[in-house]
Amino acid sequence: MTRTTADVTFLRGYNQALVLAVGRTVRTFERSTVVDATGLTPQAVSKVIARLAADGLIRPAGVRRLGIGKPAVVYELVPDSRYAIGAHVARRTLRLVLVDLAGTVRHSTVNPLPGDFTPEHLLDALRVGVDAITAGDDLRGRLTGVGLGMIGPLDHANGLVRDAHGLRQWHDVPLRELAEAHLGLPVHLDKDVTAGITAEAWRHGATFGDAALIMVESGIGGGFWLGGAAHRGAHTNAGEFGHTVVDLDGPRCVCGRHGCLEVVHLGAAEAGDVARAARVLAVGVVNLLQTLDLAHVVLAGADLLRHAEDYRAAVERAVRTDVPRADWLTPTVTLSGLGADVIAAGAAMQVLDQLYGIPDLTLGAPPTIARRTSLRTAGA
């Protein structure tokens, strides 16, 4: 791991991110709202608000007149002030979404990808999809970039796809650079599950606690949000949660070990035993809770969403009965509110997060997308 130095631009970015996070999570807010939520002084908040308003990210929305005293100016986030495009690159499909600054999905499209597609296939499909989205609306100067959420292994810091699991044409592909050249936009590359949990975190604000996104979709993976940031691990390979052994004498898994969560779960699912499949997944989730003590568990993935309520109920039950001291250790268990769009939407929000989220002082490499020092609009 490397660390960057901290200077005043970090302070600005950090406190600004706190204010923006308030703006995302409430419909309207005023100065005192932010003061209470962040602990900044009123004067500091005024300065931050002035910067954000000058940038067009927030705007006044009337006044609040309640009792005696000068009325307070009410502000609101301007969702349309910034956009990002997100892509969920799966084995057979490419899902593209347009997300605004508030984290709302404004467009969503799905298109098939050729079997065993190549980087060129993907780049062309991205080009076509991005063009289609940008043609519809006039996003000039407000489109901040494109986020790609993809199966690993990959190298987030350097924008490399090392070996997309199940795709033979992908070995050490510098996808970020290629896509930036092809699209003419800043690009952020990350694992699908990490993108997914970023969606949840972005939409819940700067105080979103430790959380995992459990994704069941041709395999089982997990995306983690720990200590207020995405957890990617030492090689962007965190989240291979499906390949944790839950049954020492279980069937052999593709990864070479025996009784992985994924293969055991698959056995139950293929037998049509949804209830058992859900219970198996729940065992894995409780394992995760015991290990990481999470505040939130979010469920996602096409294979899970097909039996969403079965899975949710099974996990909810396990979390309440199988964790000791469940009275105070129980996390929230929810289905992702974004449904099948989570990954793509999260990929888009990773772009927004790099620009307008809490800045990161720990790096594997320099930031993908540079923050603007001045308040000029971002974009192509």
Q: Which is nearer to DNA, 30 or 155 (CB)?
A: 30
Asked if 310 is part of the footprint of a copy of itself (rule: CB under 8 A), the reply reads: no
Chain positions 269 to 298 lying near a copy of itself, rule: CB under 8 A, are: 280, 283, 286-288, 290-295
CA-to-CA distance for 92 and 108, rounded, in angstroms? 17
φ, ψ at 92 (rounded to 5°): -125, -10
CA-to-CA distance for 295 and 292, rounded, in angstroms? 9
Question: What's the closest the beta carbon of residue 79 comes to a copy of itself, in angstroms?
Answer: 23
Asked if 210 is part of the footprint of a copy of itself (rule: CB under 8 A), the reply reads: yes
**Do residues 158 and 177 lie in contact, with contact meaning Cβ atoms separated by under 8 Å?**
no
**Do residues 130 and 122 lie in contact, with contact meaning Cβ atoms separated by under 8 Å?**
no
- Residue choice 26, 44, 323, 380 for contact with DNA (CB under 7 A): 44
**Do residues 220 and 261 lie in contact, with contact meaning Cβ atoms separated by under 8 Å?**
yes
Task: Identify residue 186 by its one-letter amino acid code.
Answer: P
Chain positions 178 to 197 lying near a copy of itself, rule: CB under 8 A, are: none
Asked if 47 is part of the footprint of DNA (rule: CB under 7 A), the reply reads: yes
Q: Which is nearer to a copy of itself, 104 or 207 (CB)?
A: 207
Residues in a beta bridge with 155:
160
Comparing CA positions, the residue from 80, 252, 237, 76 lying closest to residue 160 is 237
CA-to-CA distance for 9 and 246, rounded, in angstroms? 46
CA-to-CA distance for 149 and 151, rounded, in angstroms? 7
- Residue choice 66, 68, 135, 234 for contact with a copy of itself (CB under 8 A): 234
**Do residues 187 and 154 lie in contact, with contact meaning Cβ atoms separated by under 8 Å?**
no
Question: What's the closest the beta carbon of residue 27 comes to DNA, in angstroms?
Answer: 17
**Do residues 77 and 20 lie in contact, with contact meaning Cβ atoms separated by under 8 Å?**
yes
- Residue 69 binds which entry of DNA, a copy of itself, none, with Cβ cut-offs from 5 to 8 Å by kind? DNA
Asked if 62 is part of the footprint of DNA (rule: CB under 7 A), the reply reads: no
Q: Which is nearer to a copy of itself, 2 or 104 (CB)?
A: 2
Asked if 375 is part of the footprint of DNA (rule: CB under 7 A), the reply reads: no
The region that residue 334 occupies, defined by phi over 0 for left and psi between -120 and 50 for alpha, beta otherwise, is beta
Chain positions 73 to 102 lying near DNA, rule: CB under 7 A, are: 73
Looking at 59-67, 197-205, 257-265, 348-356, which segment touches DNA (CB under 7 A)?
59-67
Q: Which is nearer to DNA, 186 or 359 (CB)?
A: 359
Give me the residues that bind DNA (CB under 7 A), please: 5-9, 11-12, 15-16, 30-32, 40-44, 46-48, 50-51, 63, 65, 67-73
